[in-house]
Structures are given as structure tokens and as C-alpha cells.
């Protein structure tokens, strides 16, 4: 009964946000509360919600100061030379811009962190998208698809969890999956080409040498280049600060929230030493920060209730119990396919530490090597980055300025395709058995 209550809660949530009945922020708070009362958990609902908020708090703090930091970097003009270089290469071709977005986001995603991937990609590419008139939804979709593949790297999280819980090393579990990852990224490039051709047909190849290329007259362009917020003399300092920040993030020198807080304070102090300027810069980015962080804390309530009521455990047990004995020998493929909904509706911790061991034990009884279950379990990650429990996506959607429900409808089919491509390649290469 508890598992079906959980499934119904997820279904209602998805229906409400995708049909635009209510906003995602409201749905993340109201829907789980209602279902917790229906399930008879009213007495402890406050503690459950607070537990979820506490768990998500470090992420919320990190996103708040990450938004402010990269906002200051954009104001100061750190990405202007990169944008100018990209403009020179793409020559106003939307197809090249979108394919370039896929490549850039894949390279940045090598660090395995969704927040920094989205921050850097959007900060660099958003002005270009705006200048060329490319649909912002594409800038939300392409980095998300790239991260869905690159997040499978051992240091990204999911693979590390699978290795630890099943006691395999990277050479056993991850290395054989690399061809499938390459295939997944090839699919992302194909999707970028499809979307790029649509935009090229809609917009044409824009002549950036003309004033109308970015919608600015010559005088307006000159004014933009003389923007008092720009800090061209500090570009090398800002670049060094950003590189140091990225290195510290990768090496985990300090907790992520602390790193972004320190970096933001330094960036604001050096670029805008005047107190009034500091207040203006914080206010300028406060709206974006509030929209993103509020969604993160709302997701904490959703996660807290889903986890503390044990709905998530019951849902996992139900799905595992529904696998017929006749399909036991096909467990790797089934795990690959079910990893998509599992990782969409569950946190990676809940899935890899709670469900995957059960699946591996069940598969072993049918003579299936548990390492195949581990490999199959990470192939659904392209759907996980769309999960309402994946905090970084709220940052991406907030920065790009698109609706959460619309983003889900637009991206989910492409993400599903990414996982299917990787599963097929994994079967063909013998990484998982059919």
C-alpha cells in the first residue's frame, strides 16, 4: 500500500507540473505533504520535512553563492573574450553554436559536478544565444544531456556508489562501459545537430558583421563595450580566481559551499570595492538566486517526506518483486531499463545503496555476474539529471529562464534516447548480457 501511495504521489506531482496546473515550487511542497497526511504520517511530518531541508541545505547554500559568483564574473566581463572567440568560429551559424554547446558542456562535465558544468556552460553561452536569437530551451537541454552521460565517470558519483556497494574497482565496472559512454555522447551530438538544423532553418545564418546581428545599433554596441560594470584590467585575476576555484572544487580542498562563499567574497571585493556597487551587484542577481534556491529547499521537503515515510523503500521493493522469474537471466537489460525510472524518482544514494544490492543478489541467483548489474545500473543517469531530486537542474533552468515543466517535456525524450543508445551499445559490446 505504501509503495503505491508513493507511485501515486510521483504521478500527481508530474501531472501537475507538466500540465502547468501549479508551479514546480508549490508542487514540491504541497503534494508530498498531502500524501504524507493520506498515509497517516501527520504526526511526524514536521520532522520529516526538516530532515529533508537539513540534508539539502549545503547544496542550497552552494548554489546561492555559486549564482552570485558567476553573476559577478559575467558582470565583470570574464567571458567576453571567450564569447568573441566563439562568435568568430561559429560565424553566426546556430548549428555550430548548439554543437559547440554540447562539446563545451561535455568537457566541463568531466569534473563530474552538475553545478559547475551548468554554471560555466550557461555563463559562456547564454549571451551568444541571446545575441543570435536561439531558443533558450536548447541551452537548457544540451548541457543536461551532456552531463547525463559524463556523470557516469567514476568521480561523478553514481559509478563510485555502484563500485563501493558491489565491491568492484573501476577497471571491472567502469572501463568496459566507456564505449557506451562514447556512443551516448555521439547521440548527444546528433541531438545537437537536429536542434541546430531547426534553429538554422528558423533563423538562418546570421551575419555578425552587421549591426542587426545582435539587435544593437552601432551606438548601442559601443555603449555595451564601454559598460561601466566591465573590468577588462582584472580579467586575468578573475580567470585565475575561477581556475583556482575549479581546482579546489575538484580536489575537495574545502566543502563546496565554503569555497563558493570565499570565492564570491573575494570576487566582489576586488571587482567592486565600493559598498554601493556591491549592494547593486547582489541585488541584480538576487532574483535568480532566490528562484533557484527556493526550488532546492522545496525539493528537500519532497525528498524528506519520500525518504522518511519509507515510501521510497517500498516502491523499490515493489518494482523488484514484479520481475518475473522467467526474466531472471535477462536481469542486466532489465536493470538498465529500470535504472531510468529508478534514478529519476530516487536519489542516487537511495538507488545504489538500497536497490542495486537487492538487484545484484537476485541476479546472482540466476547465474548473472553482479558486475553486469553494476554496469547496467549507471546507464539510466541521463534521466537522473532530470529528476526533481537533482538540485543542479534548478540552477540551470533558473539561469536560462525557462519553465520547469516545459523543460521536462522538451528534454525527457532526448534523455530517454541517450540511455537507450547506451544500453544497446552495452549489449552489442558484451558489457551487459541480453
Please choose, from the candidates 378, 359, 355, the residue with its C-alpha nearest in 3D space to the C-alpha of residue 368: 359
Q: Quick one: pLDDT band at residue 223, thresholds 50, 70, 90?
A: very low
pLDDT at 160 over 70: yes
pLDDT at 276 over 80: yes
pLDDT at 213 over 50: no
pLDDT at 396 over 90: no
**Residue 226 has what pLDDT?**
60
pLDDT at 211 over 50: no
- Residue 85's SS3 state is helix
pLDDT at 286 over 70: yes
**Residue 225 has what pLDDT?**
52
Q: Quick one: pLDDT band at residue 212, thresholds 50, 70, 90?
A: very low
pLDDT at 421 over 80: yes
Mean pLDDT of 51-80: 82
Tell which wins on pLDDT, 166 or 323.
166
pLDDT at 57 over 90: no
pLDDT at 220 over 60: no
Mean pLDDT of 101-121: 79
Mean pLDDT of 396-410: 87
Contact criterion met (CB below 8 Å) for 415 and 144: yes
Please choose, from the candidates 297, 343, 279, 380, the residue with its C-alpha nearest in 3D space to the C-alpha of residue 62: 297
pLDDT at 216 over 70: no
**Which range is least confidently modeled, 11-20, 32-41, 68-77, 185-194?**
11-20
Q: How is residue 323 annotated by DSSP? A: S
Please choose, from the candidates 122, 103, 131, 152, the residue with its C-alpha nearest in 3D space to the C-alpha of residue 216: 131
pLDDT at 116 over 80: no
Can you read off the three cell numbers belonging to residue 403? 519553465
pLDDT at 72 over 90: no
**Residue 83 has what pLDDT?**
66
| Average pLDDT over all residues of the chain | 82
Please choose, from the candidates 69, 89, 67, the residue with its C-alpha nearest in 3D space to the C-alpha of residue 78: 69
Q: Which range among 85-99, 190-204, 318-332 has the greatest average pLDDT?
A: 190-204
Task: Give residue 283's Cα distance to chain centre.
Answer: 26
Q: What percent of the chain has pLDDT over 90?
A: 20
Whole-number Cα distances in Å, 403 to 24, 102, 154 = 9, 21, 32
Q: Quick one: pLDDT band at residue 217, thresholds 50, 70, 90?
A: very low
**Residue 62 has what pLDDT?**
78
How far is 242 from 249, CA to CA, in rounded Å? 10
Q: Which range among 117-126, 352-361, 404-413 has the greatest average pLDDT?
A: 404-413
**Residue 268 has what pLDDT?**
92
How far is 229 from 239, CA to CA, in rounded Å? 17
**Which range is least confidently modeled, 194-198, 201-205, 423-427?**
201-205
* Helix orientation angle between 158-166 and 370-377, rounded to the nearest 10 degrees: 160
Q: Which range among 120-124, 261-265, 317-321 has the greatest average pLDDT?
A: 261-265
Q: What percent of the chain has pLDDT over 70?
A: 91
How far is 393 from 385, CA to CA, in rounded Å? 7
**Residue 427 has what pLDDT?**
93
**Residue 224 has what pLDDT?**
46
**Residue 218 has what pLDDT?**
41
**Residue 145 has what pLDDT?**
93
How far is 209 from 192, CA to CA, in rounded Å? 25
pLDDT at 350 over 80: no
Mean pLDDT of 75-87: 75
pLDDT at 222 over 50: no
Tell me the pTM: 0.72
Mean pLDDT of 294-322: 79
* Helix orientation angle between 370-377 and 404-428, rounded to the nearest 10 degrees: 150
**Residue 169 has what pLDDT?**
77
Amino acid at each position: 500500500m505504501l509503495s503505491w501511495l508513493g507511485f501515486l504521489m510521483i504521478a500527481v506531482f508530474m501531472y501537475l507540473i507538466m500540465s502547468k496546473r501549479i508551479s514546480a515550487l508549490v508542487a514540491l511542497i504541497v503534494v508530498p505533504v498531502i500524501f504524507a497526511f493520506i498515509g497517516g504520517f501527520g504526526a511526524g511530518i514536521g520532522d520529516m520535512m526538516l530532515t529533508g531541508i537539513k540534508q539539502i541545505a549545503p547544496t542550497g547554500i552552494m548554489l546561492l553563492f555559486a549564482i552570485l559568483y558567476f553573476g559577478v564574473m559575467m558582470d565583470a566581463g570574464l567571458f567576453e573574450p571567450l564569447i568573441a572567440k566563439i562568435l568568430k568560429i561559429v560565424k553566426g551559424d546556430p548549428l555550430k553554436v548548439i554543437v559547440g554547446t554540447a562539446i563545451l558542456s561535455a568537457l566541463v562535465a568531466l569534473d563530474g559536478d552538475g553545478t559547475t558544468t551548468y554554471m560555466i556552460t550557461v555563463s559562456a553561452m547564454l549571451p551568444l544565444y541571446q545575441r543570435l536569437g536561439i531558443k533558450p530551451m536548447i541551452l537548457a537541454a544540451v548541457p543536461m544531456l551532456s552531463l547525463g552521460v559524463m556523470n557516469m565517470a567514476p568521480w561523478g558519483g553514481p559509478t563510485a556508489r555502484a563500485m563501493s556497494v558491489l565491491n568492484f574497482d573501476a577497471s571491472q565496472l567502469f572501463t568496459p562501459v566507456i564505449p557506451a559512454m562514447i556512443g551516448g555522447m555521439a547521440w548527444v551530438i546528433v541531438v545537437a545537430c537536429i536542434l541546430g538544423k531547426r534553429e538554422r532553418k528558423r533563423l538562418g545564418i546570421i551575419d555578425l558583421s552587421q549591426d542587426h546581428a545582435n539587435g544593437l545599433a552601432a551606438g548601442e554596441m559601443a555603449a555595451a563595450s564601454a559598460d561601466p560594470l566591465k573590468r577588462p584590467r582584472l580579467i586575468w585575476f578573475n580567470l585565475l580566481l575561477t581556475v583556482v576555484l575549479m581546482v579546489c572544487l575538484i580536489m575537495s580542498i574545502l566543502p563546496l559551499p565554503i569555497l563558493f562563499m570565499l570565492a564570491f567574497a573575494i570576487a566582489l571585493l576586488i571587482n567592486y570595492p565600493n559598498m554601493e556597487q556591491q549592494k547593486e551587484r547582489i541585488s541584480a542577481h538576487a532574483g535568480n538566486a532566490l528562484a533557484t534556491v527556493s526550488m532546492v529547499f522545496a525539493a528537500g521537503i519532497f525528498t524528506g517526506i519520500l525518504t522518511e515515510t519509507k515510501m521510497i523503500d517500498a516502491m523499490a521493493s515493489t518494482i523488484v518483486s514484479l520481475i518475473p522469474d522467467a526474466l531472471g537471466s535477462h536481469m542486466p537489460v532489465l536493470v538498465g531499463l529500470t535504472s531510468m525510472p529508478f534514478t529519476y524518482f530516487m536519489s542516487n544514494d537511495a538507488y545504489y545503496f538500497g536497490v542495486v544490492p537487492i538487484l545484484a543478489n537476485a541476479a546472482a541467483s540466476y547465474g548473472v555476474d553482479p558486475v553486469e548489474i553494476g554496469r547496467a545500473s549507471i546507464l539510466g543517469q541521463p534521466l537522473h539529471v532530470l529528476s526533481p531530486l537533482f538540485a543542479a537542474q534548478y540552477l540551470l533552468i533558473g539561469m536560462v529562464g525557462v519553465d520547469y515543466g516545459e523543460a521536462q517535456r522538451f528534454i525527457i525524450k532526448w534523455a530517454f534516447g541517450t540511455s537507450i543508445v547506451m544500453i544497446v551499445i552495452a549489449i552489442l559490446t558484451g558489457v551487459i548480457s541480453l
